[in-house]
Amino acid sequence: MAMARRDGGFFQGARIMFYLVTPNETSFPREDDVPKYVQEATPFFIGLILLEMLAGWLKTGRSVGSVSDGTTSISAGMVSRLPHLFIRSLEVSTYVYFWENFHVLELPWDSAWTWWLGFLGVDFCYYWVHRCAHELNILWAAHQVHHSSDYYNLSTALRQSVTQQCASWIFYLPLALVMPPSVFAVHVQFNLLYQFWIHTEVVRDLGPLEWVLNTPSHHRVHHGRNPYCIDKNYGGTLIIWDRLFGTFAPESEKVVYGLVHPVHSFDILSVQFHYYPYVWRKYWRAKGLVHKLSAIFKGPSWRPGLPRLGDRSEVPKVTGKEVPLDSLWSPATQAYVTAHFFLLLGVYNDLFASKAMLSQMTVLLVTSYVFFSLTSLGYIIDQRPNASIVETLRCALMMLLQRYGFIRPLVASLSVPIEIMCADGPLTPQM
């Protein structure tokens, strides 16, 4: 089998989102040859989100989400990718190092058998990554970000943790004993992309495919905070691992989404990091070394005297009438946040597209601006008392960066209107 030739077209990109690709078109000799499939999928993320919004409205007559929640979810996804501007993916980097120093067998990168083994191997390892992220308190501190939305839609799929990759790489290392890094680099991306489309309520049931594949129905259960949903359906692409290891649950009663103990915030700092102080307090208050270690490495609900994962009967009951968290803000403020968020998306995409041509200092400066901007917009959505002051500072920084060429508007002719909007808009936003 020869090295893959990419057509780079719409059809292939769409198929990649559903793992509908062949070994011939996605096999590469070196990991550096593997395309950045996740980064290239941005147009499909946007297109499918818009399609879901339309389908949801036609099907139910109501929105599938909210501006505040969707903005927060996409913001979390943006933050989770920012470290990649400075360092290579930890999962791939550690895998390459382990392969180069410890592999015992080299499977041929151009064999279809190797490709299919990579498909199964990565998905099997992901099951254990995901399961441990729920069952170990310190890993849940990172993964809870993904479950913090009270909605379940395609934007929720983008609500990712910036810290989860700090531990997930460990679970893939056994594959590096035999599987070339290029094969791993392909499947770790496809496995992630496949999971995007299953975050929806629009698709209800897929018939016989429900027995083998992870589907929207199975993953809705995983995102539920109903007692029957807790710690179920960890699979990535396949649901067979859950069926084999006793963690499968079918969808039955109406699923109520979100955390058992909700965040009650749209601030990206709170969403990403609020759980770590809780873990520290739990560790600090625990008596003795065994209990201190248990506070870190047992389940989030564990406490002395309870089983490793806590007591399921203590999970708060749901009624099915719960109302998702939303911000009571004016249409003018919503329009302001939405406009600036889209401007920020343009800066973000430009940064990733041109990072190779920029100095490290410029990348660091613009990255800091992006993070600060997401925080400021979150403050506005949360209606924090200091939101106007923070947003005024952000807009001043935006004008300076634009004036000196560090960032640019989506359309050059909009530079002056953007500066006017920044100068007039943030001082007294209507909450």
Predicted local confidence at residue 70, as pLDDT? 96
Q: How far is CA 8 from CA 11, 44, 52, 119, in A?
A: 8, 13, 24, 22
Cβ atoms of 17 and 193 within 8 Å: the answer is yes
Cβ atoms of 218 and 210 within 8 Å: the answer is yes
Task: State the Cα–Cα distance between residues 358 and 198, nearest whole angstrom.
Answer: 36
Q: Which residues pair with 224 in a beta bridge?
A: 257
Backbone region of residue 187 per phi and psi (left: phi > 0; alpha: psi in -120 to 50; beta: other values): alpha
Which 3 state secondary structure label does DSSP give 378?
Answer: helix
Predicted local confidence at residue 123, as pLDDT? 98
Closest by Cα among 393, 353, 351, 357 to 370: 351
Task: State the Cα–Cα distance between residues 176 and 232, nearest whole angstrom.
Answer: 28
Closest by Cα among 57, 78, 265, 276 to 160: 78
Predicted local confidence at residue 2, as pLDDT? 57
First to last CA, the chain: 60
Residues 6+ apart with CB under 8 A from 340: 373, 377
Task: State the Cα–Cα distance between residues 340 and 327, nearest whole angstrom.
Answer: 17
The residue ranges of the chain whose pLDDT is under 50 are 413, 416, 427-430
Predicted local confidence at residue 113, as pLDDT? 97
Residue 386 token pair: 């200091």
How many CA atoms within 13 Å lie on the side-chain side of 196?
Answer: 26
Q: What is the pLDDT of residues 23-65, one digit of tens each?
A: 999 999 999 999 999 989 999 999 999 999 999 999 888 889 9
